[in-house]
Amino acid sequence: MIAFAACKKDDSHPFDKSPNDRMQELLDSYQATFVNAQYGWRAVVFPDSGKSGGYTFYWKFTNDNRVTMYADIYPSTIDQSFESSYRMKGLQQPALIFDTYSYLHILSDPNANVNGGTMGKGLLSDFEFAVDTVTKDSVKLTGRYNASRAFMVPATQQESQDFAASFGNAMDFENIANLTTYFKRLVLGSNQFDISVNLSTRTITFSWVEGGVVKTFTTGYFYSNGKVVLAQPFTANGITITDFSNINYDAPNSVIHVTAAGVSGQIQGSGQPLLIDANAPQRWYQAVLSQDSYWYSFTGFTVEGQQDAYGITTIPNFYYLIFWPSFGTNYDLTGFVVVVNNSSLSISYGLATGTPPTFTSDGRVIFTELGFVGTIPPGEQAIFDNTAAKFTDPSGFYLVQTGRQAYDMVSAKDGKAWISWQY
């Protein structure tokens, strides 16, 4: 026989509120934290799963689901406030959603001309965020679609009153675009590094020579309190760089003065890399020759910082410029490709150069003009002539490998002209 002890039935539940009620309380609590920050919030958003650098925002939330913001995207977004709406919503976890167009949406715009990102994708940022953690001193968010990382801290009174002034001279760093050579040299005492900066994705690549070999390191960056702050510190040659401070652009001399790793230094243009990759031109050429294929560029030459300097994108129905080794039995072709009948691609005309080109022992490739193929419309003659003249410059080009199937071809004459090739 099994005995049962007398017991009292307990109708109580471990939670005295429904899941929906508990979620709503949490959302209300988070919203109160956002609203009650006396001077609003400073937020840094890192698009593309945090792989990119950060954009800094100022957000001031109200109880009636309005938010006023500034952002360091453009000069206008730094100086002029923008008001839109937001809402808190319980999804798989609490979410902060910016539900009408705002400065934040600029980073997600699929039009690459708006934010400098990838056509059709933008900068892979978000305007809907899962709320990970909330305290009175910090908030961590994760984008719901592109896993952007965002970090919020209470803003200072200065940031709430003059967002632009809170950056000090940090934005002078953007003048690196005014250094008209492809190669930019960072000099810190006896240390020298080549740096490549993408102002749209806010990433910086350091290149240096170690043991006769070129090493590279890439990290994101963001602007804060007069500094360019690296997302991950950079260490090489016995120094560690966490940020650039005391930034000052000397326009007459085309130099950006900085302090890094406790050393005063400068960023300036250079006509050559620290170490020339002597085998890069032949790697570039053989990569597509072996596939009976071609390299392509959507914008042609950048000259002294001006993208598409010769206006190839103004050609009616232009698609891209290609370089096809051994296109003919005795020539390589630099072809101007257009869209025909909205359905197919065709080489309209092109520059014929000797095959193969000349590869020099000091790491240059030199193209020799043979003539042209096809019929060049009169209105496009100058575009063709300028492109052909640059392509066949007797000084030739260095090749810089920027990815598994990507190279930049840089003028060996002065480093002030280059074209980016993809495959």
Distances (CA, A) of 203 to 46, 172, 198, 270: 11, 16, 5, 20
Q: What single-letter amino acid sits at 229?
A: V
Q: What pLDDT does 37 receive?
A: 95
Instruction: Extract the tokens encoding 166.
Output: 């809170």
Matching residue, tokens 């003048």: 175
Q: What pLDDT does 331 receive?
A: 98
CATH architecture of the domain 170-270 equals: Beta Barrel (2.40)
Instruction: Extract the tokens encoding 321.
Output: 């410029």
Residues of the chain whose pLDDT is less than 70?
A: 1-15
Q: 19-165, what's its fold?
A: Lipocalin (2.40.128)
Domain boundaries, the chain: 19-165, 170-270, 280-422
Q: Are 67 and 86 in contact (CB under 8 A)?
A: yes
- How do beta strands 203-210 and 191-198 pair? antiparallel
From the number of C-beta atoms within 10 Å of its C-beta (0-12, 13-18, 19+), residue 420 rates as buried
